[in-house]
Chain A
Amino acid sequence: MTFMHKMLGATAAMALSAGAALADPAIIFDLGGKFDKSFNESAFTGAQRWAEETGGSFDEVELQSDAQREQALRRFAENGNNPIVMAGFSFATALEEIAGEYPDTKFQIIDMVVDAPNVRSVVFAEEQGSFLVGMAAAMASKTGAVGFIGGMDIPLIRNFACGYAQGAKAANADITVLSNMTGTTPAAWNDPVKGSELTLAQKSQGADVVYAAAGGTGVGVLQTAADNEMLSIGVDSNQNYLHPGKVLTSMMKRVDNAVYDAFTAGDALEPGFNVMGLNNGGVGYAMDDNNAALITADMKAALDAAEASIIAGDIMVHNYNSDETCPALDF
């Protein structure tokens, strides 16, 4: 009986909070999970920053399976949440279906483009950030070979690899760039054991700096690199602190800024296509106490110069997604 009472109480509380949530923004995290120390966590940080600064509240859900995408979107839209932010490219199909049904709700999708009058698509110029860390890797490498380990083999991750290879070759034309993908299913985002073995395989091919764009798999890559006197490069969030002095830098993708801006705009969120690159602080590389000794003054100067040239348009970093080819790397 007590259990029944609790259930009833919980239902009542949910009904109340559902009423209160009117016009609150909402965010849906992708399968990697809210605390993946990477992409989703960055999105969460942005949402939390907004909540702390404005005192507002937001609704959130972590997906457990692909089948829930449409259901979660519909639930938030029915609930009156506005805007609804989706962290992840996989929402595109569900959003295309739903956006038209809720014309008064604003949606923001990150990492993918959905063409609808009430959708704001935010994509990041990952190739620009990856270009810079690729330069850093090539300058830090003593063996003349650097590695890339991707998660699931999709165009988005190939764009990371492509930018990285272009940057490495820009800093040292003779460098060898090794590239491996962990797998072709979503399980590839959470297989640190395979990440470790790929790192060792790249080490035996001569690489001494390795860049992981692989979600949870990257944890294994960074660990193995630290255990085997290699340098590693983190991704999405600042991961320098994971192994101080052994992570060269991290390619920051400011998903937090994208979420923060959307929440701040509220229902006045402007629809359309939006690229976050080096010029507007969307991507960059992380510098802090943990890697200060690894990035020399010369490297910093070269990176700053390259960053300025990319922003000015003097260096054009090729985007893999534009034509599905990469001038610097074969897949």
Chain B
Amino acid sequence: MDLLTLLQMLDSTMRLATPLLLACLAGLYSERAGIFDIGLEGKMLAAAFLSAAVAYSTGSAWLGLLAGIGASLALSGIHGLASITFRGNQLISGVAINFLAAGLTVVVAQSWFGQGGRTPQLAGAARFEPITLPFAEALRDIPVLGPIYYELISGHTALVYIALLLVPVTWWVLYATRFGLRMRAVGENPAAVDTAGVSVIGLRYAAVLICGVLCGIAGAYLATALQAGFVKDMSAGRGFIALAALIFAKWRPWAVLYACLLFGFLQALALRPDVIEGVLGFKVNGQLLDVLPYILTVIILAGFVGKAIPPRAGGEPYVKER
């Protein structure tokens, strides 16, 4: 395997890891505040649809991104209303959101565009184009470092860099701000936060809405950056892999980045059976690589490698007085 092949695979890893990373960070905020969210998939899907639809109608990918965030926020609002205000079961609310998004996107797309639950193909400014970073062309011929900079670091869409930036930002918010401290506390012991005179409901809503914004970016990335339009069910289970990555990372921001890159790399590896065979000398079943993220998560959950302890108040609606 030569350097160029490796770089192309890592490049593919970056593209595949980005939606996972965004969804995973979204889940991190929500779950750290004590609201389990298995509706990441549905929110991504709704955002993917509306971002593509609005990007097509207005010709602007950025307006599409805003619309995608809006769609995802609306579903987050429903999740918040059901699980925070009305203290419903968070898992059931999440499942409902997944179903709602899977059905609504196709129905609305069909009545809007009449193309069988898809949006028309996007072109030009309606898509996020890859950005060539400064000096990428000039430095391309430098051995080793040039191709790494040109192939791997440069040439992604704006949303990839935003996703990567969000990792340190999330770390800073969680561990260096008052809001982050309170949010983490709400996920561990909401009664203590309440005693201190801070609104549990307000904090949880804030976390769920941040989750909505991030899922919105993830969905828009799928439909307007990776693809040129929406196709039904195009999120294809990435929201669930993101949840697995979140557990794998034990709810910590930097670990989330590494987990998503690992899972993205496994997906990229599954695309290149020839490379695996070349390196290992025997054929590896593609399905094995596809299930590896889940197997790894189960191993972590079973406690073989460290221990994954979820936020203690996760899944529990907060009741002020008993």
Please say whether chains A and B are actual partners in one complex: yes
Chain A residues within CB distance 8 Å of chain B: 33-37, 41, 178, 180-181, 183-184, 187, 190-194, 196-198, 200-201, 204-205, 216, 219-220, 223, 227, 242
Contact residue among B115, B222, B272, B273 (Cβ-Cβ distance under 8 Å from A193): B222
Chain B residue with Cβ nearest A181 = B286
- The answer, yes or no, to whether B244 is at the interface (CB within 8 Å) is no
Are A193 and B227 interface neighbours, CB within 8 A? yes
Are B227 and A197 interface neighbours, CB within 8 A? no
New contact pairs (15) apart from A193-B226, A198-B271, CB-CB < 8 Å:
A33-B106, A33-B117, A37-B118, A191-B236, A193-B222, A194-B267, A197-B12, A197-B267, A197-B268, A201-B8, A204-B8, A219-B229, A220-B227, A223-B121, A227-B228
Residues 1-24 of chain B, each 1 if its beta carbon lies under 8 Å from chain A, else 0: 000110010001001100100000
Roughly how many angstroms separate A26 CA and B68 CA in the complex, as a whole number?
A: 38
Are A192 and B231 interface neighbours, CB within 8 A? yes
Q: How far is the CB of A208 from chain B (nearest CB, A)?
A: 16
List A contacts of B12 (CB < 8 A).
197, 200-201
When A198-B271, A204-B8 are in contact, do A193 and B116 touch as well, CB less than 8 Å?
no
List A contacts of B267 (CB < 8 A).
194, 197
13 cross-chain CB contacts under 8 A: A183-B290, A184-B287, A190-B232, A193-B226, A193-B234, A197-B12, A197-B15, A197-B268, A201-B8, A201-B272, A204-B8, A219-B227, A223-B228
Roughly how many angstroms separate A29 CA and B231 CA in the complex, as a whole number?
A: 18
- The answer, yes or no, to whether B202 is at the interface (CB within 8 Å) is no
How many contacting A-B pairs (Cβ < 8 A)? 80
- The answer, yes or no, to whether B85 is at the interface (CB within 8 Å) is no
Chain B residues within CB distance 8 Å of chain A: 4-5, 8, 12, 15-16, 19, 106, 110, 115-118, 121, 222, 226-229, 231-234, 236-237, 267-268, 271-274, 286-287, 290
Roughly how many angstroms separate A219 CA and B228 CA in the complex, as a whole number?
A: 9
List A contacts of B5 (CB < 8 A).
204
Are A187 and B236 interface neighbours, CB within 8 A? yes
When A190-B233, A190-B234, A191-B234 are in contact, do A36 and B116 touch as well, CB less than 8 Å?
yes
| 6 A-B pairs with the lowest CB-CB distances in the bound complex, closest first | A35-B116, A191-B236, A201-B271, A190-B233, A204-B8, A216-B231
Roughly how many angstroms separate A7 CA and B229 CA in the complex, as a whole number?
A: 37
Are A34 and B116 interface neighbours, CB within 8 A? yes
Contact residue among A35, A190, A197 (Cβ-Cβ distance under 8 Å from B115): A35
Are B110 and A219 interface neighbours, CB within 8 A? no
Q: How far is the CB of B236 from chain A (nearest CB, A)?
A: 4
Are A187 and B268 interface neighbours, CB within 8 A? no
Are B227 and A192 interface neighbours, CB within 8 A? yes
List B contacts of A34 (CB < 8 A).
116
Chain B residue with Cβ nearest A194 = B236
The SS class assigned to the A binding surface is helix
List B contacts of A178 (CB < 8 A).
274
List A contacts of B236 (CB < 8 A).
187, 190-191, 193-194
Contact residue among A41, A198, A227 (Cβ-Cβ distance under 8 Å from B116): A41
Contact residue among B117, B121, B268, B274 (Cβ-Cβ distance under 8 Å from A35): B117
Contact residue among B106, B110, B237 (Cβ-Cβ distance under 8 Å from A187): B237
When A183-B290, A204-B5 are in contact, do A33 and B232 touch as well, CB less than 8 Å?
yes
List A contacts of B8 (CB < 8 A).
200-201, 204
Are A197 and B116 interface neighbours, CB within 8 A? no
Chain A residue with Cβ nearest B290 = A183
List B contacts of A201 (CB < 8 A).
8, 12, 271-272
Roughly how many angstroms separate A208 CA and B228 CA in the complex, as a whole number?
A: 20
When A33-B232, A184-B287 are in contact, do A196 and B274 touch as well, CB less than 8 Å?
no
Are A197 and B16 interface neighbours, CB within 8 A? yes
Are A33 and B227 interface neighbours, CB within 8 A? no
**Which of B106, B115, B234, B267 counts the most chain A CB atoms within 10 A?**
B234
Chain A residue with Cβ nearest B16 = A197
Roughly how many angstroms separate A192 CA and B48 CA in the complex, as a whole number?
A: 13
Are B110 and A35 interface neighbours, CB within 8 A? yes
Chain B residue with Cβ nearest A201 = B271
Q: How far is the CB of A202 from chain B (nearest CB, A)?
A: 9
Roughly how many angstroms separate A223 CA and B5 CA in the complex, as a whole number?
A: 22
Q: How far is the CB of B264 from chain A (nearest CB, A)?
A: 10
List A contacts of B290 (CB < 8 A).
183
List A contacts of B232 (CB < 8 A).
33, 190, 216
When A196-B226, A204-B5 are in contact, do A219 and B231 touch as well, CB less than 8 Å?
yes
**Which of B115, B117, B222, B290 counts the most chain A CB atoms within 10 A?**
B117
Are B116 and A192 interface neighbours, CB within 8 A? no
**Which of B110, B268, B286 counts the most chain A CB atoms within 10 A?**
B286
Roughly how many angstroms separate A112 CA and B236 CA in the complex, as a whole number?
A: 27
Roughly how many angstroms separate A187 CA and B272 CA in the complex, as a whole number?
A: 20
List A contacts of B229 (CB < 8 A).
219, 223
Roughly how many angstroms separate A193 CA and B236 CA in the complex, as a whole number?
A: 9
Contact residue among B116, B268, B274 (Cβ-Cβ distance under 8 Å from A33): B116
Q: How far is the CB of A290 from chain B (nearest CB, A)?
A: 14
Roughly how many angstroms separate A141 CA and B313 CA in the complex, as a whole number?
A: 60
Q: How far is the CB of B147 from chain A (nearest CB, A)?
A: 13
Q: How far is the CB of B18 from chain A (nearest CB, A)?
A: 11
Roughly how many angstroms separate A242 CA and B16 CA in the complex, as a whole number?
A: 25
Roughly how many angstroms separate A201 CA and B110 CA in the complex, as a whole number?
A: 32
Roughly how many angstroms separate A36 CA and B290 CA in the complex, as a whole number?
A: 26
Are A192 and B234 interface neighbours, CB within 8 A? yes
List A contacts of B231 (CB < 8 A).
190, 192, 216, 219-220
Roughly how many angstroms separate A274 CA and B267 CA in the complex, as a whole number?
A: 41
Are B227 and A196 interface neighbours, CB within 8 A? yes
List A contacts of B115 (CB < 8 A).
35, 37
Q: How far is the CB of B239 from chain A (nearest CB, A)?
A: 13
Roughly how many angstroms separate A192 CA and B226 CA in the complex, as a whole number?
A: 9
Roughly how many angstroms separate A37 CA and B121 CA in the complex, as a whole number?
A: 13
Q: How far is the CB of A181 from chain B (nearest CB, A)?
A: 8
